[in-house]
Structure 1
Amino acid sequence: MTTGPSVCRLSARERCEDALASTKPAAGRSTMITVTEERARRDAAASDERRRTVGLRSPLDGVPIVWKDLFDVEGTVTTCGSSSLSDRPPAVTDGTLVRRAHELGLVTVGKTNLSEFAFSGLGINQHFGTPVNPLDPARVPGGSSSGAAVAVAVGIAPLAVGTDTSGSVRVPAAFCGCVGFRASHNRYGRNDFRALSPTLDSVGVLARTVEDIRVFDRLMARDGDPARPATVRAVVPVGEWVDDCTPGVRTSFAAAVERLRADGVPIETAELPSLAHAQSLIDTHGTIVGADAYAAYGHLLSAPAGIEPATRRRLSRNAGSQAAAASLRAAMPALRRQFSADLAGAVLLCPTVRHEPPRIDDLLASDDLYDAWNASTLRTTMMLSYLGACGVTLPLRGPSGPLSQGLLVSAPAGWDSALLAWASRFTEAVG
């Protein structure tokens, strides 16, 4: 991907054809719910014509992009990853964010697969097929933006736009070996995708590098960020966020922290009361996401078929969750302020997920195992979403084998630009 029109040697048409070709193999087919070939070729041709005549609209003019199938793309059905919505009429117009990207010259290649209704951190989809984790096809790709992460990892597009409610961009990026960014709530304008949780949903972006995400963010963010400290320092939290990780995850995380220290980043280990309090509330009352998901999709439980068994289980468990979620909503503003005060200008460092990606066959063989792994996969990122954090996960190689893990760098809401700049520096240090 290019960060400027003079850098890329390929025409938009060539990049478009490469992207479309990458959707054809099995991994690509599992990744895409809809491929918009005609539109992509038309957009690419228009970009090349601008390059020859009036000049490109932006540094991303002609760059392929894919969208999680929660965003409306003109002429396509927005399925939300569910067979229960596959018969809806096609969207008559692009959603706001899709339209803005089109106006910048980005080339929409299609819409990516996801966990049903974006309501799982595992990325399994039994109707459209599970996107193939390129590092180990036997393991989950992570979710819910599973197709978005795989699309970047296998080269369908250098940019993928997903959504992140409880970790839905950060988790699949960590499991598939790419960079995933959860933006602050409404950073790119009012969310106009099909919401799982209007309270916590944020747009997320996946790419091979932080710099690619920074270019997208600078072009799409509605407002400039307030001034932030020019120098970075980091905090590693005391407690379960590191202690409960598998040995392999702890080893990779500790090595990354030491490389950052060697690069001159001041890092301290400290207790953060906001994290412990937030996790305690979630453990006691459940999640806002569960309550919001039931409000949106609970009516489907009365249908005899049409939704996946795992989705049905989670919706059923949240049938009476509205009252409990009220306690979480009431405590949230003060806890977010405390989180910012606890960090005092630092960024938070922790593993993105506490374990390696589990095997798909194991999960499908046991409902209890499926649900336990889903909860464990999202435990860290869900708590940080509740605290309103923006976050970037950077890929880390595991201590043995090809499996990827994630170094999660988080900051309070509104720190997006500074966070991305610091994450770019961290990438150089951790490799």
Structure 2
Amino acid sequence: MQSIRDRLENILSRLANRAADEKVYTKLYAEAARAAADASDARARAGVTLGPLDGSILSIKDLFDVAGEATTAGSLMLRNAAPAMRDAAIVGRLRQAGAVIIGKTNMTEFAFTAIGDNMHYGTPGNAFDASRIPGGSSSGAGVSVGEGTSDISIGSDTGGSIRIPASLNGVVGFKPTARRVPLIGAFPLSGTLDSVGPLARTVSQCAAADAVMAGEVPNELAAIPLAGLRIGIPRGVLFGDIEGGVAAAFEHCLGRIEQAGAHIADLSIDDMIAEFRAATKRGSIAAMEGAEVHADWLAAGAPAPVDPHVSGPLSRAALLPAPVYIRALRRRAALVAAMDERLASVDLLALPATPVTAPTIASMAEDAELRDRTEGLLLRNTQVANQFDLCAISLPMPGTALPAGLMMVARNGHDHRLLRIAAEVERLL
């Protein structure tokens, strides 16, 4: 049995070999990680364990506070910010569970945009093919798990920022029901929509990390048999413009799930999506809340060293009057309740996490129109779970030339049940 310390040293030496071109990690905690690994090995020798995360090598997105250092959130503007007074709530919980935190992963600036590019700290190449985009905003998180430089990576998800990189890098990504996991010490984008969740190789690793972060006791994940489950397929706008390979892989997965005894039926939610779009036509909730987070530098009028893909939407949202924002929140509350009622007839929804696979980094840089279109497609399916306050998971689909995820979405608060069903789907696929 390889010790945790030996596994850690292998990863650190891999990272040292590419240090001159490191884009996945923005910071390494080599000494602290070694101490945590040694402590975990010592517990193992003594027959003591702190639970399923004990000795897991973990990375965290560069928007979680670590005591004594500035939280840069993928931006140059925050490099000289005041150091955090204490660890983010989830960082403290993960340390207590014996996780070995190896470093902070790169992200898109201020967790905005889904492509995964960062003009300040570089764009991490996709774990499957480094010439392709990683997906965002938890870009380094998806790549670190996909390439094996962490077992589990913690990201945040406001419109798909965990599930998009999970889908494009061929790993599992879980977005819990918002507010189940505390946001204390996480740099905000949208207080209403932000969720904190894990990316990992397996559903059980995601479930263990999620339980620890939510302050629950991580129990053995008992899979739920698929026989008799009702699975709704939201065909319609969410199935437009799907790459052939992604569509074929999705239908293959559905076939396997149906053979296992699940009942599959179309369940349209297009009317809800249209109403949500109408309710946020003048500005998305994420952009309006983000504009408040960044109000000071946006109002200063001085050109800030911020990616125009980020500063543009934020500065436009900053000009919207308060009634527009309040009305959007009020309408969302009604739509969240209506969606909960709509989903009462099924155990979960299934759809592709992303309708497309990862395009090349070069193509995104060369063609602004293609970049905007791709970003819209990457966010289209995942953001439904944030908008309607649901929980969701993306699992790698077998049989695609490039990675793409199967997304399962469940009602608000049904996180444990979703994870248990996902464990069975994972076993099946």
Give the distance between the partners of 1:176 and 1:186, measured in 2 at CA.
26
Displacement after TM superposition at 1:83 (Å):
0.9
Give the distance between the partners of 1:333 and 1:176, measured in 2 at CA.
33
Aligned twin of 2:325: 325
Corresponding position: 1:130 with 2:127: no
Matched AA of 1:375: G
Contact 2:158 2:383 in 1 (8 A): yes
After superposition, residues 123-162 of structure 1 pair within 5 angstroms as: 123-162=116-155
Using the size of structure 2 for normalisation, the TM-score is 0.91
Contact 1:279 1:383 in 2 (8 A): no
Offset from partner CA, 1:165-216 (integer Å, 9 cap, x none): 0000000000010000001112123543011001110011100011111222
Contact 1:396 1:406 in 2 (8 A): yes
Give the distance between the partners of 1:68 and 1:427, measured in 2 at CA.
25
Aligned twin of 2:343: 343
Q: What SS does structure 2 have at the residue aligned with 1:93?
A: coil
Aligned twin of 1:420: 419
Displacement after TM superposition at 1:275 (Å):
3.5
Displacement after TM superposition at 1:277 (Å):
4.0
Q: What SS does structure 1 have at the residue aligned with 2:173?
A: strand
Offset from partner CA, 1:341-396 (integer Å, 9 cap, x none): 21224201111112222222222223333333222211221222110011000112
Q: What SS does structure 2 have at the residue aligned with 1:324?
A: helix
Q: What SS does structure 2 have at the residue aligned with 1:268?
A: strand
Contact 1:140 1:358 in 2 (8 A): yes
Give the distance between the partners of 2:236 and 2:348, measured in 1 at CA.
17
Which of the residues 289, 292, 300 maps onto 1:292? 289
Aligned twin of 1:234: 231
Displacement after TM superposition at 1:286 (Å):
3.1
Q: What SS does structure 2 have at the residue aligned with 1:408?
A: strand
Which of the residues 165, 178, 182 maps onto 2:175? 182
Displacement after TM superposition at 1:320 (Å):
2.6
The change in CA–CA distance for 1:247 and 1:76 in structure 2 (over 3 A counts) is same
Aligned twin of 1:359: 360
Which of the residues 190, 193, 197 maps onto 2:190? 197
Contact 2:127 2:144 in 1 (8 A): no
The change in CA–CA distance for 1:176 and 1:334 in structure 2 (over 3 A counts) is same
Matched AA of 1:11: S
The change in CA–CA distance for 1:347 and 1:289 in structure 2 (over 3 A counts) is same
Corresponding position: 1:52 with 2:45: yes
Displacement after TM superposition at 1:73 (Å):
1.4
Which of the residues 266, 271, 275 maps onto 1:269? 266
Give the distance between the partners of 2:72 and 2:377, measured in 1 at CA.
27
Give the distance between the partners of 1:159 and 1:117, measured in 2 at CA.
22
The change in CA–CA distance for 1:219 and 1:241 in structure 2 (over 3 A counts) is same
Give the distance between the partners of 2:347 and 2:357, measured in 1 at CA.
27
Displacement after TM superposition at 1:333 (Å):
2.0
Contact 1:166 1:381 in 2 (8 A): yes
Give the distance between the partners of 1:15 and 1:232, measured in 2 at CA.
40
The change in CA–CA distance for 1:19 and 1:274 in structure 2 (over 3 A counts) is farther
Corresponding position: 1:13 with 2:25: no
Give the distance between the partners of 1:346 and 1:55, measured in 2 at CA.
38
Contact 2:136 2:165 in 1 (8 A): yes
Aligned twin of 2:253: 256
Aligned twin of 1:23: 15
Give the distance between the partners of 1:158 and 1:189, measured in 2 at CA.
22
Contact 2:87 2:185 in 1 (8 A): no
Give the distance between the partners of 1:103 and 1:61, measured in 2 at CA.
9
Worse-superposed segment, 250-259 or 195-204: 250-259
Give the distance between the partners of 2:368 and 2:295, measured in 1 at CA.
20
Aligned twin of 1:74: 67
Contact 2:180 2:214 in 1 (8 A): yes
Q: What SS does structure 2 have at the residue aligned with 1:23?
A: helix
The change in CA–CA distance for 1:273 and 1:236 in structure 2 (over 3 A counts) is same
Matched AA of 2:176: A
The change in CA–CA distance for 1:106 and 1:288 in structure 2 (over 3 A counts) is same
Corresponding position: 1:309 with 2:305: no
Offset from partner CA, 1:257-315 (integer Å, 9 cap, x none): 11211122211112236633444335634310011111112443433241112212222
Give the distance between the partners of 2:399 and 2:123, measured in 1 at CA.
23
Offset from partner CA, 1:52-95 (integer Å, 9 cap, x none): 34722222212111100110112333110001111224334211
Contact 2:162 2:199 in 1 (8 A): yes
How many equivalent residue pairs?
417
CA RMSD in angstroms, aligned pairs only: 2.3
Matched AA of 1:72: D
Aligned twin of 2:375: 374
Give the distance between the partners of 2:385 and 2:245, measured in 1 at CA.
22
Contact 1:393 1:408 in 2 (8 A): yes
Worse-superposed segment, 158-167 or 277-286: 277-286
Matched AA of 1:115: T
Where structure 1 has 5 or more consecutive residues not aligned to the other structure, the ranges are 1-8
Give the distance between the partners of 2:297 and 2:278, measured in 1 at CA.
28
Aligned twin of 2:210: 217
The change in CA–CA distance for 1:223 and 1:66 in structure 2 (over 3 A counts) is closer
Give the distance between the partners of 2:318 and 2:333, measured in 1 at CA.
25
Contact 2:232 2:265 in 1 (8 A): yes
Provide the identity percentage: 34
Contact 2:64 2:88 in 1 (8 A): yes
Matched AA of 2:34: R
Give the distance between the partners of 1:385 and 1:421, measured in 2 at CA.
21
Aligned twin of 1:5: none
Q: What SS does structure 1 have at the residue aligned with 2:84?
A: coil
